[in-house]
Amino acid sequence: MSTLSLSRRQFLAGSAATVAASAASSTTAARAASGAGDSAPSRRVVLALIGAGGRGSNHAAGMSRLPGVEFKYVCDVWKDRGDGILKDLTRVQKRAPRRISDLRVALDDREVDGVVIATPEHWHALATVMACQAGKDVYVEKNPCNAIWEGRKMVEAARKYGRIVQVGFQNRSGPYAASARDYLASGKLGNIVHVKVYNMLEGSRWEPVPDGPVPAGLDWDAWLGPAPKVPYNPGRHANWHPWWDYKGGTLADDASHQLDLTRMVLGDPGHPRSVLCTGSNHAFGSKREVPEFQCITYDYGTYTMTCESGNATPYLRKFPGEVRYGNQWPHWPTSATRVEIYGTKAMMYLGRHGCGWQVVVEGGRVIDQDKGYFPDKWHQPNFIDCIRSRKTPNADIALAHPSACLVHLANISYRVGQKQLFFDPVRERFTNSTAANGLLKPAYRKGYRIPDTV
């Protein structure tokens, strides 16, 4: 991170040194080690926001309004980001937060209990592991990691250092998701025979843009972090989603929520036996790396799950405000983000964003339902409660990791030539493709590596 004039060697050494110093001294670490929590709402919780963009501002606004919560730092590698967040926090907090550009400043501060990581995906795992090593609790946005190996390291770091690691799969805190899970577990749908997950969004032709000068105040090298060094490109910077190095397309961005909610209501099954992802850029002929449309089949043994995800269907819509925050039910067939769960007795329509679920039988007759509400209002407090109580959060990294794997399994299947891949669920390696195993772990840049032993 050039802003602190540290070399990459120092970056790595610094994070290792931080481990020992902070983990040993942090008060939360001590509490975790003793198994004791202080769940009193009066116990102050001090946070640092890492990544002051759109989602970071949602979290700063939501969490700073919870009793006893304060953001001490707002960290971004681009000096222009975060002005609005700083202003808002200064208004609602007793103490104004400090703007920083290097997350290690927050990790080295013993007063900080936790970090909220809302950077692009290629930074999620490294920042989470560093934070755990430094004795900090973590809220990390979805998709929690950019590779299967990274997710495993996040789980290991959380457990080794006794940290709370809540993933931004907020549907897990929605009461409607819990009632859907209980409904399925009750057997009222019968045996589950098929699950269809949709994430079919609007889209248009994607065009590459030429490289250009780095904008003033942006540390492009730090933005790239663990990802390969490339010249500044405004297209990558503004929208990193359609690049394997930073995210992995709409599947990682948006369908990850759908897949996670579906896993949750199915009772969090382990990894599927196999995956096959086909897809293409035939809708608009975009020249981007990630496909405009993907069709995935996961084999869970007793049932099959499919996922259709992409940016090619403008007439399908995400749930509107009246559905997310009101009492209106969606029009399921034209809902872009619906899940259909087929049992031997009935089928369930399920939606995220607080949409809820309806169970339908012949003729479209609804026999059961539960309406939801956009779930940030439960998910953010759950993180803060768990910092105080040391209870496992609703979207614990160990539950979120297999959901993130569904994204990575599919993208790897697509990248190795749209082949069916078989997966060893214990070793988390493919059993029929060396090429696929080569995509389990990113090739990190020197100085930004996650160690094998976290």
Ligand X SMILES: NC(=O)c1ccc[n+]([C@@H]2O[C@H](COP(=O)([O-])OP(=O)(O)OC[C@H]3O[C@@H](n4cnc5c(N)ncnc54)[C@H](O)[C@@H]3O)[C@@H](O)[C@H]2O)c1
- How far apart are CB 241 and ligand X at their closest, in Å? 8
- Note whether 118 binds ligand X by CB under 6 A: yes
Please check whether residue 360 is in contact with residue 202, taking contact to mean a CB–CB distance below 8 angstroms: no
Contacts of 138 (CB under 8 A, 6+ apart): 114, 115, 117, 128, 131, 132, 158, 163, 164, 165, 166
The rounded distance, in Å, linking the Cα atoms of 356 and 185 is 17
Q: Which of 145, 78, 84 is nearest to 117 (CA)?
A: 145
- Between residue 44 and residue 63, which ones bind ligand X under the rule CB under 6 A? 50-56
The rounded distance, in Å, linking the Cα atoms of 454 and 442 is 16
Question: Encoding tokens for residue 259?
Answer: 């897949």
The rounded distance, in Å, linking the Cα atoms of 42 and 411 is 45
Q: What Å distances lie between residue 30 and 20, 34, 130, CA to CA?
A: 13, 6, 18
Q: Which of 91, 111, 127 is nearest to 45 (CA)?
A: 111
- Note whether 77 binds ligand X by CB under 6 A: yes
Cβ proximity to ligand X, 274 vs 337, nearer residue: 337
Task: Choose which of 141, 150, 292, 396 interacts with ligand X (CB under 6 A).
Answer: 141
What angle (nearest 5°) sits at the alpha carbon of residue 173, between those of residues 168 and 179? 140
- How far apart are CB 76 and ligand X at their closest, in Å? 4
- How far apart are CB 357 and ligand X at their closest, in Å? 19
Cβ proximity to ligand X, 177 vs 436, nearer residue: 177
Cβ proximity to ligand X, 60 vs 157, nearer residue: 60
- Between residue 235 and residue 254, which ones bind ligand X under the rule CB under 6 A? 253
The rounded distance, in Å, linking the Cα atoms of 367 and 208 is 49
Cβ proximity to ligand X, 180 vs 400, nearer residue: 400
Choose one: 76-84, 108-116, 278-286, 404-412; the region binding ligand X (CB under 6 A). Answer: 76-84
Whether the bond between 199 and the residue before it is cis, its omega within 30 degrees of 0, is no
- How far apart are CB 208 and ligand X at their closest, in Å? 19
Cβ proximity to ligand X, 152 vs 257, nearer residue: 257
- How far apart are CB 40 and ligand X at their closest, in Å? 28
- Note whether 75 binds ligand X by CB under 6 A: yes
Q: Which of 84, 65, 64 is nearest to 76 (CA)?
A: 84
- Note whether 405 binds ligand X by CB under 6 A: no
- Between residue 253 and residue 282, which ones bind ligand X under the rule CB under 6 A? 253
Cβ proximity to ligand X, 101 vs 433, nearer residue: 101
Cβ proximity to ligand X, 165 vs 416, nearer residue: 165
- Between residue 166 and residue 185, which ones bind ligand X under the rule CB under 6 A? 168, 170
Cβ proximity to ligand X, 166 vs 286, nearer residue: 166
Choose one: 20-28, 117-125, 318-326, 409-417; the region binding ligand X (CB under 6 A). Answer: 117-125
- How far apart are CB 82 and ligand X at their closest, in Å? 7
Cβ proximity to ligand X, 152 vs 241, nearer residue: 241
Question: Strand ranges (DSSP E) for 76-136?
Answer: 98-100, 114-117
- Here's the x/- map for ligand X, 183-222, by CB under 6 A: it reads as ---------------------------------------x
Cβ proximity to ligand X, 223 vs 329, nearer residue: 223
Please check whether residue 72 is in contact with residue 65, taking contact to mean a CB–CB distance below 8 angstroms: no
Please check whether residue 442 is in contact with residue 145, taking contact to mean a CB–CB distance below 8 angstroms: no
Query: What's the per-residue H, E or C state across 400-428?
Result: HHHHHHHHHHHHHHHHCCCCCEEEECCCC
Q: Which of 78, 26, 74 is nearest to 47 (CA)?
A: 74
- How far apart are CB 49 and ligand X at their closest, in Å? 9
- Note whether 142 binds ligand X by CB under 6 A: yes
Contacts of 364 (CB under 8 A, 6+ apart): none
Cβ proximity to ligand X, 120 vs 402, nearer residue: 120
- Note whether 76 binds ligand X by CB under 6 A: yes
Size of the site for ligand X (CB under 6 A): 26
Residue nearest to ligand X (CB): 53
- How far apart are CB 379 and ligand X at their closest, in Å? 9
- How far apart are CB 190 and ligand X at their closest, in Å? 32
**CA-based R_g, the chain, Å:** 22
- Note whether 71 binds ligand X by CB under 6 A: no
- How far apart are CB 147 and ligand X at their closest, in Å? 14
Looking up tokens 């976290």 gives: 454
The rounded distance, in Å, linking the Cα atoms of 452 and 292 is 34
Chain residues that interact with ligand X, rule: CB under 6 A: 50-56, 75-78, 81, 103, 118-121, 123, 141-142, 168, 170, 222-223, 225, 253
